[in-house]
Amino acid sequence: MIYRAAGTLLLILGITTGIFAQKTQFTHQDSLRGTITPERAWWDLTYYHLSVKVTPDDSTFSGTNLIQYRVIEPNQKIQIDLQPPMEISKITQNGEEQKFERDGNAWFISLSKKQQKGEMLELMVEFNGKPKVSRRPPWDGGVSWKKDEKGRPFIVTTNQGDGASLWWPCKDHPYDEPDSMLLSVTFPKDLMDVSNGKLIKLDNNNDGTKTAHWFVNNPINSYGVNINIGNYVHFGDTYKGEKGTLDCNFWVMDYNLEKAKKHFKQAYQMLEAFEYWFGPYPFYNDGYKLVEVPYPGMEHQSSVTYGNGFKNGYGGRDESHTGYGMKFDFIIIHESGHEWFANNVTNWDEADMWIHESFTAYSESLFVEYFWGKEAGAEYCRGTRLNISNDRPIIGVYGVNYPGSGDMYSKGANMLHTLRQIVNDDKKWRKILRGLNETFYHQTVKAEQIEKYISGETELDLESFFNQYLRDTRIPTLEYAIVDNEIRYRWTNCVNDFNMPVKVYINGEMKWIQPTGRWSRLKQSGNYKSFEIDKNFYVAAFPITVIN
Ligand SMILES: [Zn+2]
């Protein structure tokens, strides 16, 4: 996902006037959605076959979802999510109709068959309705019933945050993903549907419709599942990457084909840079796709959606305010970066969405670094500091589907860039980035797992570092005073025990110091004339004249 859109002004005003203060009150529905309820905990999702008929004439979605699961602990009540105005009409198990009741967005089914530990079972859920219409995709979830430039239907789904259960019945919590998924989409025969994974079959139904069957051969997060229906044309190629040959497929409106053929070459540069930094593309058997949509873009797994006008920058702007942001297409790079952080390594709870956005925002700098050099990448990252608001912590509230501040993007990226300075070993740093993707391959993870992994690999105690940047809004400030041949310094405006080492330049000479919350002194024979903190650290400096 991308944080700011055209219409940014409202968001910026919102932040400065405190409209986006941390929410502290949550509803019963927030808990049903955001918690691993007892009705979710007992079963492990293994497979979905989602079959949806999309009818533009009356704006309806109807179909079935076959949900396959393994019983972890016996229980007779199961929770499935589907939000109004969508309705579940029938639920069966082994052909037998099941009783169910609705509690807002959650549906509780009383299963008649005894559920036994270790069993693999299936539930068939029939649903229909007019799904909520998105007013501002991708920030506002729902279905967009748009027209392309030639006035033909262009129908897409977006649902990050609001949830996949806006349009299809599923286990709508990020912790559990199916191991694979089949998506069968029926649509008017003159159009085409492009979804996740690989197209395995296209049926002509002899009733004015076609059905496209897309198979996803990997675990997939529910918010990544998407439908894109329009007048698509296809082109593609292969990429020789770290794990062999990767199919790259591109689907765009027929009138954009020539532009796309040139512009989408950036996808190969992206693969080259990100495989270098993060390791192999995580879904070789599903291929990589870019799919044109009538909104800016989104990280839908193996179906990255694109609507940035075949131009560099983001909506014509440079996110970093340095010039480097205009050297590449922000949407291709950022949204594809999510294939590693979001789709491969996925947050276990929405409160940890920084695992998706901080690493992916940082991936933009790494892309710049790969092609334009280390200092260019650093400059890009530092440039994004202008986007930081320090309004509330990067980590949100657990158990209620509530992500943290939009600072998870630029501040998160600068946190990682700062951490890289402390690691002070680019080989090791790259090994950590690749190691995260290998260790947590196709997994859903919590913040603590990421923190523990990095602390372990760096052999540094990073507890106060992560607490400072992820769980606090203050910018740690280095207070210092120069008195002739002595410098005194300490950290303030920080969490307890914050003791991050920092690189400084004293009389122009580089030196590492290890400040704590207490005053430290540095003496030398001559006088100190200048004292500067290395600009790659996201910290503040405050010179003082009187020490108390
Ligand atoms: Zn994003």
Is the Cα dihedral 535, 537, 540, 542 positive or negative?
Answer: negative
Ligand 1 centroid to 293 CA: how many Å? 16
Mean per-residue pLDDT, 4-13: 39
Higher pLDDT, 527 or 363: 363
Quickly state the pLDDT bin for 131 (edges 50, 70, 90). very high
Q: Minimal CA–CA distance to 4: which of 339, 313, 255?
A: 313
Distance 478 CA to ligand 1 centre (A): 31
Higher pLDDT, 7 or 424: 424
| Cα(285) to centroid(ligand 1), Å | 23
What pLDDT band is residue 177 in, cutting at 50, 70 and 90?
very high
Tell me the CA–centroid distance for residue 361 and ligand 1, in Å: 7
- List Cα–Cα distances, 282 to 279, 286, 336, 437, in angstroms: 8, 9, 11, 8
**Which of 4-8, 51-55, 296-300 is the least confident region?**
4-8
How far apart CA 470 and CA 458 sit, in angstroms, is: 18
Tell me the pLDDT of the chain averaged across its residues: 95
CA 299–ligand 1 middle distance (angstroms): 7
What average pLDDT does this structure show over 423-448? Answer: 98
Residue 1 CA to ligand 1 centre (angstroms): 3
Enumerate residues with CB within 5 Å of ligand 1 (an ion): 1, 357, 360
Q: What is the predicted pLDDT for the residue at 354?
A: 98
* C-alpha 298 to ligand 1 mean position (Å): 7
In a 3-state reduction of DSSP, which class is residue 72? coil
Q: How far is the CA of 359 from the centre of ligand 1 (A)?
A: 9
Residues in the chain: 548
3-state class (DSSP) for residue 483: strand
As given in the structure block, the two tokens for residue 195 are: 């979804």
Measured in Å, residue 187 CA sits from the centre of ligand 1 at 29
State the distance from the centre of ligand 1 to the C-alpha of 402, rounded, in angstroms: 16
CA of 530 to the centre of ligand 1 (A): 40
Average pLDDT over residues 429-442: 98
Query: How far does residue 474's CA lie from ligand 1's centre (Å)?
Result: 23
**CA 492 to ligand 1 centroid distance, Å:** 32
- Residue where the block lists tokens 């989602």: 50
CA of 505 to the centre of ligand 1 (A): 35
Report residue 14's pLDDT band, with 50, 70 and 90 as the boundaries.
Answer: very low
For 154, the 3-state DSSP assignment is strand
Can you tell me the mean pLDDT for 363-376? Answer: 98
> Residue 547: what pLDDT?
52
Decide if pLDDT at 20 tops 80.
Answer: no
CA of 484 to the centre of ligand 1 (A): 49
Given this model, what pLDDT does residue 226 score? Answer: 98
- Give per-residue pLDDT as tens, 201-229: 999 999 999 999 999 999 999 999 999 99
Parallel, antiparallel or unpaired: strands 244-253 and 288-292: parallel
The predicted structure's pLDDT at residue 483: 85
Q: Tokens 């700062």: give the residue.
A: 418
The residue among 26 and 16 whose pLDDT is bigger is 26
How many angstroms does the Cα of residue 172 sit away from the middle of ligand 1? 20
Query: How many A from CA of 362 to the centre of ligand 1?
Result: 10
For residue 334, report the distance from its CA to the centre of ligand 1, in Å. Answer: 6
Read off the tokens for 293.
């949509």
CA–centroid distance, residue 512 to ligand 1 (Å): 34
Report the pLDDT value the prediction gives residue 4, as an integer from 0 to 100: 55
* Percent over 70 (pLDDT), the chain: 96
Segment 191-204, tens digit of pLDDT: 999 999 999 999 99
Q: Averaged over 339-368, what is the pLDDT? A: 98
Distance of CA 76 to CAs 96, 111, 275, Å? Answer: 15, 5, 45
What does the pLDDT read at residue 21? Answer: 65
Residue ranges of alpha helices (H) inside 241-373 are: 257-263, 266-278, 330-337, 354-372
pLDDT tens digits for range 241-266:
999 999 999 999 999 999 999 999 99
Q: For residue range 456-515, what is the model confidence (pLDDT) as tens digits?
A: 999 999 999 999 999 999 999 999 998 888 999 999 999 999 999 999 999 999 999 999
